[in-house]
Copies of this chain bind each other. A is one copy, B any other.
Amino acid sequence: MKSRHLEILKGHNYGDLILETNHWFILLAPDQKNLGTCVVALKRKEGNLAGLKDKEWIDLKEIIKNLQSALRKAFNATMFNWGCLMNSSYRKDHPDPHVHWHFIPRYREKVEFEGVTFEDPCFGFSTMYSKDGVRRLPEYTRRKINEKIRENLEI
């Protein structure tokens, strides 16, 4: 998949591209504590959520619908957290935020995929992330998760 917009992802650590829509990249996040955690990143340079254009906002709504549906079908996710934070950019002296969303599937039950077990010990608690650091997976497993999400996305 080639996109003239890929330049925008440089300097960010959003993960591996799964799919792109007209206005957003959908990426498999580096941290897979919660199986299928994604980042949804805008394809143009914009640092303020309030600066989104109507067509970008409408496109995002379709992504929410499709990504949630895909994760239910692929991994039986129970529910989902969405967050637009951009905090870490503000640690810099000259903040250069870029609008992106964290999409975190939450699981009531543990789930196995490609021989790997995923649990969600913070399920039901008022936090978007569990506190147990970053869970990185082997390249092979990441590719399989990526493919599984993509084949369930109706975009």
Contacts and interface: CB of A to CB of B under 8 A. Distances in A.
Interface of A: 48-50, 52, 54, 57-58, 61, 64-65, 68-69, 78-88, 90-91, 95, 97, 106, 108, 123-129
A97 B81 CA distance: 12
Copies in the complex: 2
Given A57-B58, A57-B61, A78-B90, A83 B128 contact: yes
Contacts of A82: 49, 83-85
A124 B90 contact: yes
A133 to B, nearest CB: 12
Given A57-B58, A82-B49, A124 B87 contact: yes
Contacts of A123: 87, 90
A124 B91 contact: yes
12 contacts: A49-B68, A54-B58, A78-B90, A79-B95, A82-B83, A83-B84, A83-B85, A87-B127, A88-B124, A88-B125, A88-B126, A126-B129
